Structure 1
Amino acid sequence: MAENGKNCEQRLSGMNKEQHNGSFTDPSSINERKRRDREERQNIVLWRQPLVTLQYFFLEILINLKEWTVKLWHRRGIVVSFLLLLAVLTATYYIEGMHQQYVRYMEKKILWCAYWVGLGILSSVGLGTGLHTFLLYLGPHIASVTLAAYECNSVNFPEPPYPDQIICPDEEGIKGSISLWTIMSKVRLEACMWGAGTAIGELPPYFMARAARLSGAEPDDEDYQEFEEMLEHAQSAQIPNPLFDLAGITCGHFLVPFWTFFGATLIGKAIVKMHIQKLFVIITFSKHIVDQMVALIGSVPSLGPSLQKLFQEYLEAQRQKLHHKTEEGVPQGENWLSWIFENVVIVMVCYFILSIINSMAQSYVKRIQQQMYSEEKTK
């Protein structure tokens, strides 16, 4: 790998040989050289130079692993304590005994929480350009629980199959026992974990701005300019609100303590904002609201009765599903919809992975270019 790294340096040196002959004392020459170097890095992508990109990607991984290994060695006391705790938990997980029922319960809860935290991270990571998982996952989950609660007159859905599929419990609930707070309590864990994930997703802009400030980057530095370009591109594409990203960048730039920023973001997103969103969805899909909506649709001239009939049929189909067992299957239309949606998510995840590979390969090229700058300045 050291030989590969040397070959990469020679290749980059050959690619930049002409422009590197310019004088470091001429500002126009320096700016032109940096512009060409940036264009050169941007051409290192899988669809243009797949083999070179993969080679640089793996070399950058090795460099990062070496740096992380050194950092872990300096904190070896914490690492040893963590490994001992992991060994104890592993032994507890595999040794048979009465405790296994609690282990399985905790395993299920941890995986469930990790699932929603991960969706929350996907929703807010990437300077606001992430997948809006509230509309795609959490919102529909809250809506289905709300509809089922009023239909079943209970929130004691049997586990399993809940939450994969909602089935009315065999025993009927007490009439009028369903309230807004009952439904909120049922989905509170999922909502709070998703909100916590969105708070974690706000950390990259904070750390990027903080690192830029601590590195002493000035407005005319290349790193600072690249960061500004990336921010402008992200803000022009993101939905729906750039304020949290800007808050993270501002806090990072002014070196606001991590726990001050993250604590406030966590409270705001996982508690305040999440309860507002959850309350809005539950009210929207409450039974009396839905009945009023159906009546309102029926009052529309001409198209109203036909649209009302379609909507009523859809709601009836959803209610019938709540009383059916999982073996009876899912309607064919929903299978197609689910297949399309799953493939869209897979495509987005693949694109995210490709972007990581390209970014790390370009980071390696930038390392070599900066090393060349340093060597020439010392001559």
Structure 2
Amino acid sequence: MAENGADCDLPQKRVGPKENRNGNFTDASLRERKQQDREERLSLVLWRKPLLTLQYSFLETLVTLKEWTGRLWQRRGAVFLVLVLFSVFSMAYSIEGAHQKYVQYLEKKILWCAYWVGLGILSSVGLGTGLHTFLLYLGPHIASVTLAAYECGSVNFPEPPYPAQIICPEEEVVQDSVSLWTIMSKVRLEACMWGAGTAIGELPPYFMARAARLSGAGPDDEDYEEFEEMLEQAQSAQDFATRAKLAVQNLVQKVGFLGILACASIPNPLFDLAGITCGHFLIPFWTFFGATLIGKAVIKMHIQKLFVIITFSRHIVEQMVSLIGVIPGVGTSLQKPFREYLEAQRTKLHNPVADGTPAGENWLSWVFEKVVLVMVCYFILSIINSMAQSYAKRLQQRKYSEEKTK
């Protein structure tokens, strides 16, 4: 902690005011021009300028691939080692023998973990907007396992990755043998992998701010510029949102590891600011990532998991359905599809073979599927818009550099 405190306190003095960076005074006209450029970039979206947005997004993809290829070439030794390990695993996978069952088990586990880590990264990586994969994937998965556990009276249905539908075990089970702990243990792997993915998705703001601080120049990133302006105005009166951001920044800066851990352990929409703060004040990587990983993959994940399991336990679900019927006017009509859906899920758990159209295909499941589809499509559109805006920023920065050389 002493080292972390030293690392936090040492670089707190900035190179200089924003107007005096690199010896050049930023006048009002330059600020106004940057604001116009920012508004121009933000207007570059598919529903306003579809052709230009697609063109810029494609060009940004090519530029990004070129940059990644260069970075991989610089680390060709590590890439070669990964290729060798992949080749060895491929040979072990293709050669028949007694080891095949272990290879297949390892393959299933790796793919299952990679699936949830990827969903966690998508949830917090910040490509325009995060895909809320907890609400769309992990939450419903935990809920389905919870409903199955209470209906079957056991969690001895197949291990992950699950088949298309969970089937109750045929052997006799002792009722009321299911507890919160057994259900939490059943979904712990998926939940922790998803939490680890969200921790990995928080790294870009940290590396961006750290690189900017070490290079002595702030990038034209909106979040970083907002962070610098907040530091300059720290002593003046602020609104509630800015005070909340300052509280996060002060907690991370002064407390170090425990402050990062506290911010990562609760649902916190301002955690990107914590990553920028850690990068700006040169907090060591493993201090930041270690606290973030423990907070998101262990503490926060168990809190969220416990909330979902309690919410979807049998007696609470039945009480919720009963309360829906109390709503005057529309209560009975809303209660019916919920009861049909729950009954369909119970039927699936006891029928290994689905005959014909899946049971319980009502408007409730149809609406949920369409909501998932809309959110995924919006996420894809936000990625395209974000990449197009990134390429537009490249063009603007190139124009600024050309003007300075003249």
Quick one: distance in 2 between partners of 1:301 and 1:72? 60
1:313-343 CA distances to partner (integer Å, 9 max, x unpaired)?
Answer: 5533332222123422423326633541342
The structural deviation recorded for 1:60 is 4.7
* Alignment-derived partner of residue 82 in structure 1: 82
* Alignment-derived partner of residue 15 in structure 1: none
* Alignment-derived partner of residue 101 in structure 1: 101
The structural deviation recorded for 1:38 is 5.0
More divergent stretch after superposition (45-54 vs 121-130): 45-54
Match of 2:361, as an amino acid?
Q
* Alignment-derived partner of residue 375 in structure 1: 405
Note if contact 2:56-2:387 (Cα within 8 Å) is conserved in structure 1.
no
* Alignment-derived partner of residue 267 in structure 1: 294
Quick one: distance in 2 between partners of 1:132 and 1:335? 18
Match of 1:337, as an amino acid?
V
Note if contact 1:42-1:362 (Cα within 8 Å) is conserved in structure 2.
no
Quick one: distance in 1 between partners of 2:220 and 2:204? 16
More divergent stretch after superposition (245-254 vs 167-176): 167-176
* Alignment-derived partner of residue 16 in structure 2: none
Q: How many residues align?
A: 345
Quick one: distance in 1 between partners of 2:95 and 2:123? 38
Instruction: Say what the alpha-carbon RMSD is for the aligned residues.
Output: 3.8
The structural deviation recorded for 1:283 is 2.1
Quick one: distance in 2 between partners of 1:301 and 1:31? 55
How high is the TM-score relative to the length of structure 2? 0.71
* Alignment-derived partner of residue 146 in structure 1: 146
* Alignment-derived partner of residue 208 in structure 1: 208
What stretches of structure 2 of length at least 5 have no aligned partner? 1-23, 231-240, 243-266
* Alignment-derived partner of residue 223 in structure 1: 220
Quick one: distance in 2 between partners of 1:30 and 1:57? 27
Note if contact 2:123-2:198 (Cα within 8 Å) is conserved in structure 1.
yes
Quick one: distance in 1 between partners of 2:324 and 2:365? 28
More divergent stretch after superposition (248-257 vs 67-76): 67-76
* Alignment-derived partner of residue 131 in structure 1: 131
Note if contact 1:154-1:172 (Cα within 8 Å) is conserved in structure 2.
no
Query: Is it true that 1:350 corresponds to 2:347 in the alignment?
Result: no
The structural deviation recorded for 1:190 is 1.0
Quick one: distance in 2 between partners of 1:345 and 1:308? 24
Quick one: distance in 1 between partners of 2:62 and 2:221? 26
Quick one: distance in 2 between partners of 1:308 and 1:338? 15
Note if contact 2:324-2:335 (Cα within 8 Å) is conserved in structure 1.
no
**2:220 match: secondary structure:** helix
Match of 1:252, as an amino acid?
G
What stretches of structure 1 of length at least 5 have no aligned partner? 1-23
Query: Is it true that 1:279 corresponds to 2:268 in the alignment?
Result: no
Quick one: distance in 1 between partners of 2:198 and 2:53? 31
**1:150 match: secondary structure:** helix
1:40-96 CA distances to partner (integer Å, 9 max, x unpaired)?
Answer: 655666666666655655555555445444443433322222221222122222333
Quick one: distance in 1 between partners of 2:377 and 2:176? 45
| CA pair 308-321 structure 1, distance change in 2 beyond 3 A | same
Quick one: distance in 2 between partners of 1:203 and 1:307? 47
| CA pair 54-147 structure 1, distance change in 2 beyond 3 A | closer
Quick one: distance in 2 between partners of 1:188 and 1:30? 52
Note if contact 1:198-1:269 (Cα within 8 Å) is conserved in structure 2.
yes
* Alignment-derived partner of residue 122 in structure 2: 122
Query: Is it true that 1:166 corresponds to 2:166 in the alignment?
Result: yes
Quick one: distance in 1 between partners of 2:160 and 2:141? 16
* Alignment-derived partner of residue 361 in structure 2: 332
* Alignment-derived partner of residue 256 in structure 1: 283
Quick one: distance in 1 between partners of 2:329 and 2:145? 30
1:294-319 CA distances to partner (integer Å, 9 max, x unpaired)?
Answer: 67678x59789958974655533332
* Alignment-derived partner of residue 18 in structure 2: none
Note if contact 1:41-1:366 (Cα within 8 Å) is conserved in structure 2.
no
- Where in structure 2 are the equivalents of 1:64-83 lying within 5 Å? 64-83=64-83
